[in-house]
C-alpha cells in the first residue's frame, strides 16, 4: 500500500474518505470479494472429508489464514479511521484537547497499520509466505565458533517466540567442548521464510573468549542458511543417483534407543556438495524423510538464487547471491556494537539483539532489496 497518505493530526481531514476501499499502488483491494472468499473458504474447510487430502487441506487452511488476516487488517484500519473521525468532530464541537489527543492516538494506530501493510507488500516472493528451514553451522573459531552457533540458534528461537511462530528441531550436533557444530530447525508461521531469508549468510562474532584462560579477544564465524519449506507438489530436479546416504548413531539426548541404533541420516547431494542430516527422530525412516525434505528445500532455494543472479547479470547488475558473504558483525569487545554490512544499520543494544530483537535488521535489508528491485525494474 505504497500510495497510502498519512493524515496530519494537526488539521481536520475527511477520515471517511480514507477508509479502506479499493485503491493501492499494488493493485485493487476488494473487501467485499475478500469477505466472499473467506465465506467460501470457511465452507470448504468445514467439510467432513477435508483431511482425506492432507496437502489440499493444508493449502486451504493457509489461504484461509491469509484472507482472515487481510480482512482483519482492513476492519481494524477502517475502525480506527472512523473512530478518529468521530473524535475529531466531537473535539471541534466542544473544543476539547483530550478528545483531540484520543483522535491522534487512533490515527497513529492507523498509521502503524499502514506501515505494517506496506512492509508486508515487500514480501511478495513466491515462497515468502512459507515456513522456513534454518540451518546454522559453526565456522572458523574452534570452540568459540561452536558457542557462537548456539548463541545464534537461541537468537532465532527467541525471535520466533516473539512472533508467535512454532519451531521444531530437526537436527542438533553438539560441539566437543561447548555449543553446537550445527543445528537445523523449522520455523512455522505466515511469512516465516519471507522474514528470515534476510539472515542468509555468515555472522561474525568478536569478544573476549570465555574459553581462553588468558582472556584474549577472539573472532568466531557461523553460517546461517534459510530455505523455504516446500510441499511435494513443487517439482525439484533431484536424481536419487546423485544422493549419497550415510547412517550413523545419533548423539546427545534422546534415550537409549536413539544412541544404540543407526537412526541418524546424512544425505550428500554429490553434484552441489550440499550436505543435510537429521537425527532427532527415533526412526531411521523418519529421519531419512526429514533429511530429504531439507535437501529438496535447499536445492530449490539454490536454483531460485541462481535464477536471480542470472536476471541481475542480464540487467547489468553486479550481485552476489550466496551463503558465503559476511552479512553482520557482532562486536562485544572493546565496544558493544552490531553492524549489518549490507545496510550499514548499527545497534548498540547487543543483549536485546541476541535475545531475538532482530526485526530492525530484517526490515532494513528487505527495504533495501525492494528499493533495488524497483530501480532495476
Q: Environment class of residue 180 by beta-carbon count within 10 Å: exposed (0-12), middle (13-18) or buried (19+)?
A: buried
**41 in helix, strand or coil?**
helix
pLDDT digits (tens, 9 = 90+) for 65-103: 878 878 888 888 888 888 888 888 888 888 888 888 888
Q: Which helix (H) or strand (E) holds 117?
A: helix 97-121
158 near 253, Cβ under 8 Å? Answer: no
The architecture of the domain spanning 15-121 is Up-down Bundle (1.20)
Q: Check residue 50 and report its DSSP letter.
A: G
**171 in helix, strand or coil?**
strand
Taking residues 226-250, report their average pLDDT: 79
Pairwise CA distance, residues 377 & 372, whole Å? 9
Q: Environment class of residue 263 by beta-carbon count within 10 Å: exposed (0-12), middle (13-18) or buried (19+)?
A: buried
CATH class of 132-376: alpha beta
What DSSP line would sit under 54-81, residue for residue? Answer: HHHHHHHHHHHHHHHHHHHHHHHHHHHH
pLDDT digits (tens, 9 = 90+) for 3-61: 332 222 233 333 333 344 433 333 345 788 889 999 999 999 999 998 888 878 878 88
Pair type for strands 180-188 and 132-138:
antiparallel
Neighbours of 56 (CB within 10 A): 13
pLDDT of residue 314: 54
Is 140 or 237 the better-scoring residue by pLDDT? Answer: 140
Q: Which helix (H) or strand (E) holds 247?
A: strand 243-248
Cell of 248: 550413523
Residue 185 has pLDDT above 90, yes or no: yes
Pairwise CA distance, residues 11 & 143, whole Å? 60
pLDDT digits (tens, 9 = 90+) for 302-340: 887 777 666 555 544 444 433 346 899 999 988 899 999
Residue 169 has pLDDT above 50, yes or no: yes
237 near 143, Cβ under 8 Å? Answer: no
Per-domain residue ranges of the chain:
15-121, 132-376
Count of alpha carbons within 13 angstroms of residue 174, beta-carbon side? 8
Residue 199 has pLDDT above 60, yes or no: yes
What percent of the chain shows pLDDT beyond 90?
A: 29
β-bridge mates for residue 245, sequence order: 267
β-bridge mates for residue 27, sequence order: 24
β-bridge mates for residue 339, sequence order: 329, 346
User: Residues of 201-223 as b/e, b for ≥16 C-beta within 10 angstroms?
Assistant: bbbbbbbebeeeeeeeebbbbbb
Amino acid at each position: 500500500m505504497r500510495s497510502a497518505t498519512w493524515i496530519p493530526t494537526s488539521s481536520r481531514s475527511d477520515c471517511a474518505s480514507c477508509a479502506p476501499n479499493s485503491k493501492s499502488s499494488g493493485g485493487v483491494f476488494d473487501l467485499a470479494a475478500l469477505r466472499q472468499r473467506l465465506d467460501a473458504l470457511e465452507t470448504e474447510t468445514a467439510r467432513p472429508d477435508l483431511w482425506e487430502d492432507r496437502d489440499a487441506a493444508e493449502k486451504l487452511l493457509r489461504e484461509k489464514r491469509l484472507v482472515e488476516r487481510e480482512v482483519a487488517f482492513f476492519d481494524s484500519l477502517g475502525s480506527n479511521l472512523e473512530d478518529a473521525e468521530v473524535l475529531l468532530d466531537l473535539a471541534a464541537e466542544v473544543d476539547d484537547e483530550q478528545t483531540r489527543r484520543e483522535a491522534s492516538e487512533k490515527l497513529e494506530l492507523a498509521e502503524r497499520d499502514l506501515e505494517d501493510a506496506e512492509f508486508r507488500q515487500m514480501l511478495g516472493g513466491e515462497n515468502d509466505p512459507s515456513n522456513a528451514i534454518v540451518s546454522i553451522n559453526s565456522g572458523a573459531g574452534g570452540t568459540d565458533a561452536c558457542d557462537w552457533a548456539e548463541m545464534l540458534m537461541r537468537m532465532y528461537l527467541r525471535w520466533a517466540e516473539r512472533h508467535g511462530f512454532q519451531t521444531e528441531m530437526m537436527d542438533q550436533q553438539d560441539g566437543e567442548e561447548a555449543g553446537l557444530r550445527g543445528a537445523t530447525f523449522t520455523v512455522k508461521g505466515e511469512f516465516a521464510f519471507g522474514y528470515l531469508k534476510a539472515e542468509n549468510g555468515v555472522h561474525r562474532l568478536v569478544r573476549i573468549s570465555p574459553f581462553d584462560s588468558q582472556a584474549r579477544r577472539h573472532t568466531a564465524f557461523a553460517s546461517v542458511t534459510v530455505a523455504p519449506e516446500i510441499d511435494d507438489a513443487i517439482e525439484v530436479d533431484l536424481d536419487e543417483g546423485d544422493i549419497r546416504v550415510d547412517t550413523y548413531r545419533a548423539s546427545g539426548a534422546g534415550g537409549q534407543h536413539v544412541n544404540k541404533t543407526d537412526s541418524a541420516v546424512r544425505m550428500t547431494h554429490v553434484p552441489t556438495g550440499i550436505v543435510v542430516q537429521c537425527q532427532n527422530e527415533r526412526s531411521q525412516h523418519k529421519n531419512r524423510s526429514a533429511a530429504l525434505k531439507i535437501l529438496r528445500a535447499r536445492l530449490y532455494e539454490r536454483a531460485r538464487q541462481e535464477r536471480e543472479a542470472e536476471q541481475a547479470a542480464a540487467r547489468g547488475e553486479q550481485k552476489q547471491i550466496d551463503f558465503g558473504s559476511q552479512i553482520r558483525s557482532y562486536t562485544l569487545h572493546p565496544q558493544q556494537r552490531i553492524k549489518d554490512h549490507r545496510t550499514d544499520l548499527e545497534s548498540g543494544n547487543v543483549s536485546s539483539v541476541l535475545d531475538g530483537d532482530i526485526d530492525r535488521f530484517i526490515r532494513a535489508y528487505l527495504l533495501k532489496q525492494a528499493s533495488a528491485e524497483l530501480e532495476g525494474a
